[in-house]
Structure 1
Amino acid sequence: MNTQQPKISCIVSTYNKAKQLTKAVNSILKQSERDFELLIIDDNSNDRTKRICKKLMKQDKRIRYFKLNENHGHDGYPKNYGIKQAKGQYITFLDDDDVYRQDALKVLYNFIKQTKVDLIYGDYLIHNKGKAKPGWSLDFQASLLQKMNYIAMSVVMVKRKALFKVGGFNENIHILKDWNLWLRLHKAGYQICHIPIIITEVYTGDQSISDKYKLIVQHNEDGSYYSTEFNPADCKIYADKTCLGTQRLLRVAIFTMTKDRKFYSQKMLESMVKTNNYPYDWVVVDNGSKDGSIEWLTNWAKKNKVPYEFVNKN
């Protein structure tokens, strides 16, 4: 096993794709960029996957193979598991039936370093029933990302620390989990950039193109797409379910100005209770109330074990 810290971690999650997997793995091992590790996450396959991976590991020490104890039915958990095990600063994901072009990692790495963005994505070529044609080639537009997923999983390189900040893939989502992740990364303030260079060759086999990358789930009258599992405009930044750990919430301070408005103070506290245990400190600045507001607020804070500080400005 390579004990040095690699620049890039390539994650391939797989399930019962032994025949196709070898081709995908070889496309990674033949990369012109040599400083990487390859993590194969086997979602409890029952075919020849393990045997093939063990053989590949003997040929190249950069390969790390993990077989999960159970099948999860979709690749959200396996990919998150790979992120958790990864040692590289940058992460890529290759589907087990796709192949990288020889300079894929070098191109992605050079551009993400030059542009100083957090996620970079390229283009892909689709092989379908003996014919080849380009897939999506769209520059990043936040408004368009709200309507459709035009960033394919296998053409992305993203900073590992950014994935941890948002919890990686949402394991509650079975399809379009990649779209959900791109939306959450953008909402968290991470920079996304497109390069018009073909990175990956996608082989759909008997699948339709939309089935392969799940680009279309439901179709709106205006031509936009939407997911049946999440609302693109309303998804939270941190994944609802992830093996990457719980969200670390930033502690906030709430400042309240009062003067003889006990009724409104009570209404305000009702809204504070609805913060669902979000960590906060409470500072009350009172301007000489004489209606018992301070006494009531003090008792409430003690009863509910809320850290507080009262400042009398009169």
Structure 2
Amino acid sequence: MISQQSIAVLKKYISRAKKTAQKASLIVITYNRWEWTEMTLNSIFKNTFFPYDLIVVDNHSTDGTVEKLKQLRRSNKIDTLILLPKNHGVYVGFNVGLKYGNYNSCLSILGNDILVSPYWLAACCFFASRLKGLVAPPTQAKVRGWVTRHKCPIVKYEGMRIVRITWSVVPPVMTKATLQKIGYFREDIGKRELSFYGVADTEYGERAAKLGVGTYYILDTDCKHIPCMLGELQ
């Protein structure tokens, strides 16, 4: 949980962002599972205080999700809705959102299976701009286990615990400059593999490391992976 001391720092950061018209592009990839998508979006609406444009990229959902998303677009809850003509896989969807949303100074990508916690985006943008790396909230208990098992050094900055790791971070937040340095996710690793998380994430983290771009988790954020919460994925 983010401390009150750190919240005060983040509130000042948010205030400066509003005064200078800074925003993040918050990109959410959806495919069916409306009940999870709704949970993800509601957590964003409730807990995201840093200024953002919400860009939803739908991978040709067939369960009624598209009409629900259109309703949210009509009510201006979603700023931009991109409907893909078929399911191209998650990483193609990520790239579509990143290419559209790169007009903002910071970019975040989420799957439709994440519950975000208060001040998560402010914290991630704060450190993405200062560390010039890929920054993420840990969403699964196993990530914290890896940090402990590998004895990753943890540092405190403005009251928040940051750990630099040697693998990819999910879901990443980055500045526009970092995106321009690393580039987009690979879409040619294998179409079957691209239906699942992990393969292109790993390659992206390796590419970042080769370019000298660090990968970091903010341990005080408390975002959750819905399948893990429901016991469907350990």
What TM-score does the superposition give when structure 2 sets the normalisation length?
Answer: 0.71
What displacement does 1:61 show? 5.0
Quick check: which has more Rg, 1 or 2?
1
Corresponding position of 1:68: 84
Q: 1:176 aligns with which of 175, 180, 199?
A: 199
Q: 1:186 aligns with which of 190, 209, 216?
A: 209
Partner Cα separation in structure 2 for residue 23 and residue 14 of structure 1: 12
1:198 aligns with 2:221: yes
Q: Which runs of 5+ in 1 are unaligned?
A: 127-133, 210-314
Deviations 1:200-229 (A, max 9, x none): 1111145322xxxxxxxxxxxxxxxxxxxx
Choose between structure 1 and 2: higher strand proportion.
1
Q: Which amino acid aligns with 2:54?
A: L
1:207 aligns with 2:232: yes
Pick 1 or 2: higher relative contact order, CA cutoff 8 A, min separation 6. Answer: 2
Q: For the Cα contact (< 8 Å) 1:119–1:158, is it kept in 2?
A: yes
Q: Which amino acid aligns with 1:85?
A: Y
Partner Cα separation in structure 2 for residue 206 and residue 90 of structure 1: 32
Query: Residues 162 and 26 from structure 1, CA distance in 2 versus in 1: closer, same or farther, beyond 3 angstroms?
Result: same
The farther-off stretch of 63-72 and 171-180 is 171-180
What displacement does 1:192 show? 3.0
Q: Which amino acid aligns with 2:164?
A: F
Query: Residues 54 and 141 from structure 1, CA distance in 2 versus in 1: closer, same or farther, beyond 3 angstroms?
Result: closer
Query: What SS is found at the alignment partner of 1:136?
Result: helix
Partner Cα separation in structure 2 for residue 34 and residue 120 of structure 1: 15
Partner Cα separation in structure 2 for residue 163 and residue 55 of structure 1: 31
Q: 2:46 aligns with which of 30, 44, 51?
A: 30
Q: 1:49 aligns with which of 52, 61, 65?
A: 65
Q: 2:100 aligns with which of 81, 85, 104?
A: 85
Partner Cα separation in structure 2 for residue 93 and residue 111 of structure 1: 16
What displacement does 1:7 show? 1.8
Q: Which amino acid aligns with 2:66?
A: K
Q: How does 1:28-177 map to 2 (within 5 A)?
A: 28-60=44-76, 62-72=78-88, 74-86=89-101, 87-113=103-129, 115-124=130-139, 126=140, 134-137=141-144, 138=147, 139-142=163-166, 145=167, 151=169, 153-154=170-171, 156-173=172-189, 174=194, 175-177=198-200
Query: What SS is found at the alignment partner of 2:82?
Result: strand
Q: How does 1:206-285 map to 2 (within 5 A)?
A: 207-209=232-234
Q: For the Cα contact (< 8 Å) 2:125–2:174, is it kept in 1?
A: no
What TM-score does the superposition give when structure 1 sets the normalisation length?
Answer: 0.55
Q: For the Cα contact (< 8 Å) 1:36–1:62, is it kept in 2?
A: no
Q: Which amino acid aligns with 1:123?
A: P
Q: Tell me the matched-pair count.
A: 188
Q: Which amino acid aligns with 1:109?
A: C
Q: Which amino acid aligns with 1:63?
A: D
Deviations 1:171-195 (A, max 9, x none): 1232421121111112112233332
Partner Cα separation in structure 2 for residue 159 and residue 55 of structure 1: 30
Q: Which amino acid aligns with 1:102?
A: P
Deviations 1:149-179 (A, max 9, x none): 5x3x23x311233223333111123242112
Partner Cα separation in structure 1 for residue 128 and residue 208 of structure 2: 16
Partner Cα separation in structure 1 for residue 175 and residue 68 of structure 2: 29
Deviations 1:51-70 (A, max 9, x none): 11111123335521100112
Partner Cα separation in structure 2 for residue 97 and residue 207 of structure 1: 12
